[in-house]
Amino acid sequence: SAVISQKPSRDICQRGTSLTIQCQVDSQVTMMFWYRQQPGQSLTLIATANQGSEATYESGFVIDKFPISRPNLTFSTLTVSNMSPEDSSIYLCSVGGADTEAFFGQGTRLTVV
Amino acid sequence: GENVEQHPSTLSVQEGDSAVIKCTYSDSASNYFPWYKQELGKGPQLIIDIRSNVGEKKDQRIAVTLNKTAKHFSLHITETQPEDSAVYFCAASKGGNNRLAFGKGNQVVVIP
């Protein structure tokens, strides 16, 4: 399985600011995804990070709020923009390939005050 | 889209007993069903998965069964140990694209 590193592991941010979360994988992967896990809740897919093109967003998530970059096959970033307390969640990076398992990073715990 | 439901929400078992968690899914095109274990403060860890071309898969104390007709799949943990205490999530996806739809999670508590 791939080793996935997320930075930062946690942060406390002021409302109205933005935070960029990094996801680094130790090997090239076809697919990278970003999920959100609100406190005590399940995981919800935000978007698929596409290498070399714009990310594909799920219903309810938009690029202006969650811009995503994927410059190569081992790295992606998720930005949470203009944060409000409702954005307080764990943000998780996931990687996998077609017809292979999906693995998760340890998550970034974001608190917006 | 896919809707995955998970029952029960909380399960307490005595150490050594078995635990069973059941999930149902709505999209008959779903063909991949992983189970994840999440411990406090950690990311989800893949513990077992099953594809739609098989009905059962086992890995030591953990097994997963799939009923495509009824559109449900279950996680079975035998001889439970305190370290099995965690939140377990089921998920489903289709077409090998790994866009997973998750259930709400099940808190399993193993009582020593």
Q: What is the per-residue pLDDT for A2?
A: 83
Rounded Cα distance between B47 and A32, Å, is 20
Between chains, do B49 and A101 touch, taking CB under 8 Å as contact? yes
Condensed to tens digits (0 to 9), the pLDDT of residues A2-48 reads: 899 999 999 999 999 999 999 999 999 888 999 999 988 899 999 99
Per-residue confidence at B85, pLDDT binned at 50, 70, 90? very high
> Which stretch, A22-31, A76-85, B99-108, has highest mean pLDDT?
A76-85
The arrangement of strands across the sheet holding B62-67 comes to B4-7, B19-25, B72-77, B62-67, B56-59
Percent of chain B predicted with pLDDT > 90: 87
For B56, the token pair is: 């059962």
Rounded to an integer, the average pLDDT of B12-40 is 95
Closest CA to B102 of B39, B30, B53, B40: B30
Chain A residues 26-55 within an 8 A CB cutoff of chain B: 31, 33, 41-45, 48
Rounded to an integer, the average pLDDT of B19-32 is 95
Query: Which of A10, A44, A104 to mutate: most B Cβ within 10 Å?
Result: A104
Closest CA to B67 of B37, B18, B30: B30
Q: What is the per-residue pLDDT for B98?
A: 77
A14: Cα within 13 Å, side-chain hemisphere: 2
pLDDT at B53 over 80: yes
